[in-house]
Structure 1
Amino acid sequence: MNLKNIHNVFFIGIGGIGMSALARYFHANKKDVAGYDKTQTDITDSLEALGVDVHFSDAVANIKSKFQNIENTLVVYTPAIPKDSQLLNYFMNNGFQVLKRSQILGLITENTFCLAVAGTHGKTTTTSILGHLMHECQVPLTAFLGGISENYNSNLILKGTEVSVVEADEFDRSFLTLSPDFACVTSMDADHLDIYGDASELKKSFIDFSKRIKPNGKLFVKNGLPLKGITYGIEDDSDYNIQNIKIENGTYVFDVKTPKTVLENLQFNLPGRHNLSNALIALAMAVEYGCPYQQLANALASYKGVKRRFTYHIKTDDLVFIDDYAHHPEEINAVHQAVREMYPEKKVLAIFQPHLFSRTRDFADDFAKSLSQFDELILLEIYPAREMPMEGVTSKWLLDKVNNKNKQLVGKSDLLAKIHESSAQVIITIGAGDIGEEVKRIKKEFSVAS
């Protein structure tokens, strides 16, 4: 397919974080863009502000006539859309070019120098750091992000078309549509077992992805993973490794040993060893691309983060309120490590909304262990996303496994009152569902109180 011949692009599920980045990309490239999503959100509002036509009813009657031209209309959909969607079936049954989001990403990036970030954790933060570093080094790039960058207030960084920076998503093996020049793998922990069945199949898909790298390309892997490539790690013998870590006024200061030199006194403002690791691999990829050291150091220090990744909403002497997208036990462990490192003397209340019945079932014991580490725990009901309830898999069942005296299951309507009852000085909301809507309420309530 030649995307230059496409004039109209219709998105089914346009409000998704990855889909909306593509919508912004096509709009910036002067295509007519429209789409459907189930719910109005800040993302759909921002698209409409650009002039993108968005509607919220899965009805064929809402498709404007220009998007019914089979010859020059492309339809993009996300796998999260139900198979019985009226819009999806209309386009599929009437001869339109209908492609998944991952296939479009493959088409866009195939004629660029592509840097792809893969891994079960850390993709979005790493991709946004890499995009920012290369943007600040004046690289002519387009970066598609899986979150809203605090530096650009967008999930798209657009500075040119010669280079692309993308997340390589392992969900439903989407990353196998990419053929990157550089790729990294940050982690290979078991996840998406509803898709893969078992961890060995997930591991195999990462091996298959590593074989997608173009000839003379480079693979970067976190030290200890079962893949061969340029290694990176913290205080170890990796090709790229961080040394001499200090914390000064809430900022990491450290050195990076590269295969050729040592970069001294780098600064990075995001808390948590996991974020240091993300910064390191982004830095390594940018160095290998050829970005100048001093510009990289300045860019790293100016990186602000991604919304819903350890995002501060209240930060006073009396109360700290942080929100994070973590939805896997290892991610919760990383959040816990970061909050303890930053606030070692303070009492921490975690509010967690499990995401997916299948993930809760598959990792229940690991979730229980990670959640038990906080001083207090409030558990919300499971966010189902694309799934139907599973017998016996409930938040109450998960809560019973948690080894913590200060734990309770709370409905959203009672959440603010229960937080008021706590004496915690640090509140952290965790989860990938609609807990973000509760964040707004908590911030409003306790900004006044604090």
Structure 2
Amino acid sequence: MYYFIGVKGSGMASLARILYELGYEVTGSDIDKYIFIEEDLRNKGIPIYSFNKENIKDGYKVIIGNAFNDDHEEVKAALENPNVECYRYFDFLGEMMDRYDSIAIAGTHGKTTTTGMAYHLFKDYDKTTVLIGDGTGFAEKDSKYFIAESCEYQDHFLHYRPKYAVINNIEYDHVDYFKTFEDYKQAFENFANQVKDTVIIWGDDPYLPKLHIQTRTLSFGLNKNNDVQAINYLPTEEGMSFDVMIHGELFGHFNLPYFGKHMLQNALANITLGYLEGMEAEYINERLASFDGVKRRYSVKKIGHNIYVDDYAHHPTAIRMVIEATRVRYPYKKIVAIFKPDRFSRILRFAKEFAEAMDLSDYPYLCHFPENAAKEPGIDIDIHEIGQYIPRAKIIREDISSAKQLAEYEDVVYLFMSSKDIYKFEDLVIEAKKAEI
């Protein structure tokens, strides 16, 4: 029996599903509050319990989520029981990846989408298991490949030694752990030098090409100095069109239903992976063209004349990219941007940048921090930390009154952006809009 402490965590839920699909008995515990990730677990029949030290039984293999310290009641019970095997999530995942031709997807932005895209590319090429940071996990017995989203937070990805790694970009983040940008960049350099075969990097990034990477490296991007270069890039009403040169020779032509330069970047990373594994350009284009995204990454609902988008964007650059991609995809609609913060330290460090990104929208709205946001020593701020730099933004609560206020817009794109459960507020706005009809 595998028992997950914190089974509703995005990575934990993915790993639980993988073990379940490999034929193991799986259960776990978490907070009682509903989190959308739990639906897939319950649909599989995986039991989820409230935290209780009595849940820990002899013979269990206990996997401990990253958010839980040794003094948590279940963690303490597991560690003190000599008949229980205990693993930290990242240690267990690292050992598991060693059994496959593993592919780790890293970078400050775009990890989840790139991982989902890679799985879609590989799953029919050969047996593939995947762990995505949106709570998704799929497994096939006797898989050749294991593709895993690999987060830098608290150096977790340093527990992985994949065959290939993609690093999409580097931009200072997780300031509660990495005290300087130099520390942050060093973590990526250390990770790259653990890769067994090839590191695939965004060659147009201002920092990645300057890392001291000893492992074989392939760069991708728009500039001529890249090993894998996109040329003749053309945004279209259906997405984008471009050619790919590899080591100076034409590899193939691509037509993909993606919008925004960040999606070109994700596609190029996967084209490079496919090339390394011997895929033909036509096959790669066919597979990538049928990729329809991952959970909470630009998830679109069209209701009447309005578009409702739920996105995980929680960093200024991610917000900027989402808004810019929306301008391309829906050029004739106004944008109503709603942002809900997560970490106090991130907002304190990047308040002005958040404001500048939100200012790209037509109607910016800022939500308050969630009530259960983790307190951080020495930081006492609220959403007005951003609001002071963008006076035209309206600060709202996620209640029916605010939902009715937002529902007054017509023929717009609503962007709900947060790593937290802002999708519940999206549902409230949709219901308020329906009530008007």
With structure 2 as the length reference, what TM-score do the two structures score?
Answer: 0.91
1:369 CA drift (Å): 1.2
1:233 CA drift (Å): 0.8
- Listed as ranges, the matches of 1:40-439 within 5 Å are 40-55=34-49, 57-61=50-54, 63=55, 68-70=57-59, 73-81=60-68, 83-95=70-82, 96-136=84-124, 138-147=125-134, 154-156=136-138, 158=140, 160-214=142-196, 217-223=197-203, 224=205, 225=208, 226-227=210-211, 228=213, 229-234=217-222, 236-259=224-247, 261-314=249-302, 316=304, 318-383=305-370, 387-388=374-375, 391-402=379-390, 405=392, 407-413=393-399, 414-422=401-409, 425-439=412-426
1:334 CA drift (Å): 0.8
CA 1:315–1:167: 2 relative to 1, 3 Å: same
Stretches of structure 1 that go unaligned for 5 or more consecutive residues are: 1-7, 149-153
User: Match of 1:34, as an amino acid?
Assistant: T
CA 1:112–1:378: 2 relative to 1, 3 Å: same
CA contact (8 A) 2:7 2:29 kept: yes
- CA–CA separation in structure 2 for the residues paired with 1:193 and 1:158: 37
- CA–CA separation in structure 2 for the residues paired with 1:158 and 1:90: 33
1:245 CA drift (Å): 2.3
- CA–CA separation in structure 2 for the residues paired with 1:161 and 1:385: 39
CA contact (8 A) 1:269 1:301 kept: yes
Stretches of structure 2 that go unaligned for 5 or more consecutive residues are: none
Give CA-to-partner distance per residue, 1:306-365, whole Å, 9 cap, x none.
Answer: 12111111265x222211110001111111210111223321110000111111111111
SS of residue matched to 2:308? strand
Give CA-to-partner distance per residue, 1:179-202, whole Å, 9 cap, x none.
Answer: 111112111111111111111111
- CA–CA separation in structure 2 for the residues paired with 1:302 and 1:270: 10
SS of residue matched to 2:134? strand
- Bigger drift between 12-21 and 262-271 goes to 262-271
- Listed as ranges, the matches of 1:12-51 within 5 Å are 12-38=5-31, 39-51=33-45
The residue number in structure 2 matching 1:5 is: none
Identity of paired residues, percent? 25
User: Match of 1:271, as an amino acid?
Assistant: F
Count how many residue pairs are aligned between Structure 1 and Structure 2: 425
With structure 1 as the length reference, what TM-score do the two structures score?
Answer: 0.89
1:431 CA drift (Å): 0.7
1:368 CA drift (Å): 1.4
- CA–CA separation in structure 1 for the residues paired with 2:113 and 2:139: 14
SS of residue matched to 1:14? coil
1:445 CA drift (Å): 3.7
1:30 CA drift (Å): 1.8
CA 1:447–1:258: 2 relative to 1, 3 Å: farther
Give CA-to-partner distance per residue, 1:178-230, whole Å, 9 cap, x none.
Answer: 1111112111111111111111111111111011112xx11111113223521
1:264 CA drift (Å): 4.1
CA 1:42–1:364: 2 relative to 1, 3 Å: closer
